[in-house]
Amino acid sequence: MFIPILPSHRDPGAVPGQVAQPIPTRLSIPRAPARDCCCLQPLPWRGTCRDRTCRDRTCRDRTCRDRTCRDRTCRDRTCRDLTCRDRTCQDRTCRDRTCRDLTCRDRTCRDRTCRDLTCRDLTCRDLTCRDRTCRDRTCRDRTCRDLTCRDRTCRDRTCQDRTCRDLTCRDRTCRDLTCRDRTCRDRTCRDRTCRDPTCRDRTCRDRTCRDPTCRDPTCRDRTWLCCSQGT
């Protein structure tokens, strides 16, 4: 038995006996081709979010959640990473002086790739820095400090000046790990006041010394005497 299809309220122009054609919905309408790379994307959470291939200062990523988040491929000074949470955090690929690491928590933290281990300037800092005075291990200036520095006077093992201190320094008078007084110096010291790491007082020389004028074999001053000769 043939049953004709009556006109539908959704398709007023339908003819009896024909299948009603559904009205095109918003999802079925084909999108117009993008005019440029920065066309707006129909994303539900943000209307100002831009495409990943944008190259201008206003480009935003698809996963952006705020206006300060920028795309990873941005090349301008204001580019920021996808995981940025504040205005001071910048992408690893940034090349300007303000770039900061993804894990930055404050303004003094710098990226490994921006201010890498071979930094030569006074402002280079490591990812694990906790204060403004902590510097990189490979710094070559007099203010370079170790990653484990705890105060402003602690210096790195690779420092080249006379104020170089050990990695475990905790105060201004710290010398060697086994030092017990202010006159004890490190094994690598090259100045006239160099003493042995086992020194306990100002007159202490080497362990094998027997007279007060005997000095350690590593000393480089003119008062060094050979302990084995006993003079």
- Each residue's pLDDT, cut to its tens digit, for the chain (231 residues) gives 555 555 444 455 555 555 555 555 545 444 544 433 333 444 343 444 343 333 333 333 333 333 333 333 333 333 333 333 333 333 333 333 333 333 333 333 333 333 333 333 333 333 333 333 333 333 333 333 333 333 333 333 333 333 333 333 333 333 333 333 333 333 333 333 334 444 433 333 333 333 344 444 444 333 333 333 333
Amino acid identity at 93: T
Q: Tell me the pTM.
A: 0.09
> How many angstroms separate the CA atoms of 200 and 213, rounded?
16
What is the domain partition of the chain in residue ranges?
37-100
**Alpha-carbon distances of 216 from 177, 195, 196, rounded to whole Å:** 17, 7, 6
